[in-house]
Amino acid sequence: MGRRKLVVGNWKMNGLRAQLGEVEAIGRAAGEHPAVEVGLCVPATLIEPARAVAGAAFIGAQDCHGARSGAHTGCLSAEMVREAGAGWVIVGHSERRTDQHESSADVAAKALAAREAGLKVILCLGESLDTRDGGKALDFVLEQLARSLPEGAGADWLSIAYEPIWAIGTGRIPTMEQIEEMHGAIRGALREALGADAADGVRILYGGSVNAGNAADIFALPDVDGGLVGGASLKAESFAPIIAAA
């Protein structure tokens, strides 16, 4: 199944207009690797200016609300981030599941709202270290997937990111066997939920301390279709080699 590799940076709460030069340089790096789909999910305040300089890279948002509009002070709807210039959105990042207490039902609603607004979606899943050490990582992630998967999920608009919480920003990554096992299990669950044809087109990204040194090995694993990259995506000099590795 020919799935195009997808490498997406997540800038989290980092980035002012002064950093638009990095966006531009990352866009240039993306242009040098047309076989890879490259994007940057920037803070909402940067979506519009980043879009103007991102070249071959798409610009995405890091969250959207599950409702179309209403009394939700401080929140942004999918239509708003779309209008600002985002083509994609991350939903269910573990930092939001933890800090904003987002449930998997909330995440499924956000994904549906995003689709309705014409956005593509990266849906994040991942277990804590306690869950991994307790031998329950597979069960946990598959249940999170079942509860977060929006109705009508399809490869044309949905990608999954497996991001073990204990690997995010820590410099620690799972073994290649653990990544392969988890991605294979997610693929299997998607086949059951969506049927083999649809499931085999869905890209499953790995996220958590991806860097220039480990990207090629991770991206070569079966059922790893690219990466969601935090810290190393902030600068073109560290992100470009990861794009090249895909």
Residue from 22, 95, 102, 163 carrying the catalytic annotation: 163
For 91, list phi and psi in degrees, rounded to 5. -130, 145
User: Does 12 show up as a binding residue in the annotation?
Assistant: yes
- How many residues would you count in the chain? 246
* Minimum distance from residue 75 beta carbon to ligand PEP (Å): 20
Between 111 and 228, name the residue whose CB sits nearer to ligand PEP: 228
Residue from 22, 79, 93, 127 carrying the catalytic annotation: 93
Q: Residues 196-225 vs ligand PEP: string with x where CB under 6 A? A: -----------xxxx---------------
How far, in Å, CA of 114 to CA of 100, rounded? 19
Q: In this structure, how many other beta carbons lie within 10 angstroms of the beta carbon of residue 113?
A: 22
Is 163 catalytic? The answer is: yes
Helix axes 137-148, 104-116, angle to 10 degrees: 40
* DSSP line for 6-26: EEEEE-TT---GGGHHHHHHH
Between 3 and 14, name the residue whose CB sits nearer to ligand PEP: 14
Q: In this structure, how many other beta carbons lie within 10 angstroms of the beta carbon of residue 40?
A: 29
Between 194 and 240, name the residue whose CB sits nearer to ligand PEP: 240
How far, in Å, CA of 92 to CA of 132, rounded? 19
The one among 150, 174, 226, 231 contacting ligand PEP by CB under 6 A:
231
Q: Please tell me whether residue 159 adopts helix, strand or coil conformation.
A: strand
Q: Does residue 9 bind ligand PEP (CB under 6 A)?
A: no
Is 72 catalytic? The answer is: no
Q: Does residue 230 bind ligand PEP (CB under 6 A)?
A: yes
Which residues belong to the active site?
93, 163
Q: Which residues bind ligand PEP (CB under 6 A)?
A: 10, 163, 168-169, 207-210, 228-232
